[in-house]
Amino acid sequence: MQKKNEKLLDKIVKKDYNNELERVLEKKTFAENAKSILLSILYKLEASYKDYKKVKQDVVSKEEMIENIIYTIENNCDEIKLVKPHSKESEIIGNRTFLVEKKKKRIICYNIERKVLYCLAKISKRNKIIKDDYFVISKTLSDLINVGACINQVEPLRDFNGYSWTTIPKEIESITHNLIYQNLLLLVGNEFMNKWINNKEFIMDYMELFQNKLEELYGEKEANELIELLKEISIYLEIRFDKKAKEKMLKQKEIVEKELAQMEDNETFVETITEEKRKITSEIKIIDETINNKHMLEEEYERRNETLPLEEKIFSLRILSKMMADEREKKLEKIEKLNRLLNPQKYVAYKKELEEKERYLSLIDKKDVDKNIEKLKLKIQKLFIKCFDKKIEKCASRQDMLKLIYEFRYYIMLPYDYENSIYEEKELQKELEEETKKVLEKAYKLKVIERFSKQEDVNYELLKVIFQNRNINIEDIEVKLIREKGKEKDNYYIQVFDGNGIGEKREMPNSENMNKKDLAIRFNKKVKAFY
């Protein structure tokens, strides 16, 4: 009776969401194919959500996920134009598969559900989620996290279809962005990352909160190392995917280097600051005169509008006056900053800040960006595995351990590149083997997984397969140790079965070292891996 009530409730919820979306779509001028694809996305997300949550464990609620999509359609999107590849209409997006114009609230996209959902995720994100205090990193790391978050939002639609979990790496917009974002989700949790990417104000410094969270969970050394790696790889990814970003950073580098050179001569530096203050003071005086003189304000209004495109034109003297007042405040802040630099202590601190900026900007001079990205990606994975140790240590209950097993399975099944999953990456084999053994050892102690042999290496070979499969319910997995008689020696195989009885057979490595007396399972008989 309870199950029937739950099914009825599910139908009611589904109907309500569809009605809510249809209500929103009635107010839009979308073409019928756009409306149809949005309704289809919603339906498929609801169908796949249960499996998605089971596999990944720590995810946003179905209600919040769907409500966010409907909110985005209603408030952030006024036009969705679906185009066919190589058509005349698709010329506007060039060799890309989509175009998102946030200011125009417009999406132009191929008629592909996962691409449309990615565009909806992208159009809803703020460009910067990190304060400008972090200089170039505020842009590069914001982009890294935002792209990862958009890819993550598409995952339940892309990889789940209501009965299976399949990941096709080529369908992921960026393997590296996705991998790093999933690392962060597993390290600090979905709730923290969700608050960060959806934060609308800069009152809270989430970069500082992120640092504190990492230190609390994994220690100061690991937190500092991870953040440094994230900063570096974010710069390489920025210049890898955005040529204009590299040009902009090169200009910033020139300014920083020039300023540092000036600071080497203290007397010249003071003269430069004094001259800069005079210049800004003069500019403030002109602003004051213009705001208080109608004729001068009208001339400024015409001068600015002559060079501005239509969508950026200033539409009234009142708006111009407000803009100039804001410019005046920024110039006053600049003078205050220059005054602080005349203080010897502030001078030293500012020089140190410039040297830090130069250090990050110098990364753009390095050759072979892709090679540097791969090196940093590998370092991040090794550090992630090291941090995961702390999660294993903290597991104190069967429920926590089962959740961690799902998370570990999810992690090692993530695409590392377009050919390999994490568990297939040769450079990580040693670390992953050690980590798998630690997970299994803790699982034995907490009575989650059966110990099949007294030999650790044999146990590892028999049970590592449960982490290298895509069965939705990992607890349903059964294992069979097969012995086949040979002319010279017996051959041993491991067969892992999903909940439907379908088995995958693999050769048992190093079977010659296996002590048959230490086995707790019989040959050629299926046994459940979990208690």
Going by pLDDT thresholds of 50, 70 and 90, the confidence category of residue 10 is low
Going by pLDDT thresholds of 50, 70 and 90, the confidence category of residue 232 is very high
Q: pLDDT at residue 8 above 70?
A: no
- What residues pair up with 453 in beta bridges, in sequence order? 519
SS3 label, residue 519: strand
Q: What is the pLDDT of residues 269-287, one digit of tens each?
A: 888 888 999 999 999 999 9
Q: pLDDT at residue 13 above 60?
A: no
User: Smallest Cα–Cα separation from 51: which of 159, 182, 152?
Assistant: 159
* pLDDT for the residue 228: 96
* pLDDT for the residue 14: 53
160-166 LR contacts (CB < 8 Å, sep 24+): 160/48, 160/49, 160/51, 160/52, 160/55, 161/44, 161/47, 161/48, 162/44, 162/47, 162/48, 162/51, 163/51, 164/51, 164/470, 164/472, 165/51, 165/55, 165/470, 165/472, 166/470
Q: Which residue has the higher pLDDT, 6 or 375?
A: 375
* pLDDT for the residue 312: 84
Q: What is the mean pLDDT of residues 107-119?
A: 96
* pLDDT for the residue 65: 95
Going by pLDDT thresholds of 50, 70 and 90, the confidence category of residue 133 is confident
What does each C-alpha distance from 71 to 25, 75, 124, 454 come to in angstroms? 11, 6, 9, 55
Least confident of 15-24, 81-90, 182-191, 223-232: 15-24
* pLDDT for the residue 90: 87
d(CA 256, CA 362): 11
Supply the mean pLDDT for the chain: 91
* pLDDT for the residue 147: 97
Q: Residues in the chain, how many?
A: 531
* pLDDT for the residue 12: 46
Q: What is the pLDDT of residues 16-37, one digit of tens each?
A: 788 899 999 999 999 999 999 9
What would you report as the CA-atom Rg of the chain, rounded to the nearest whole angstrom? 29
Q: What is the mean pLDDT of residues 478-490?
A: 86
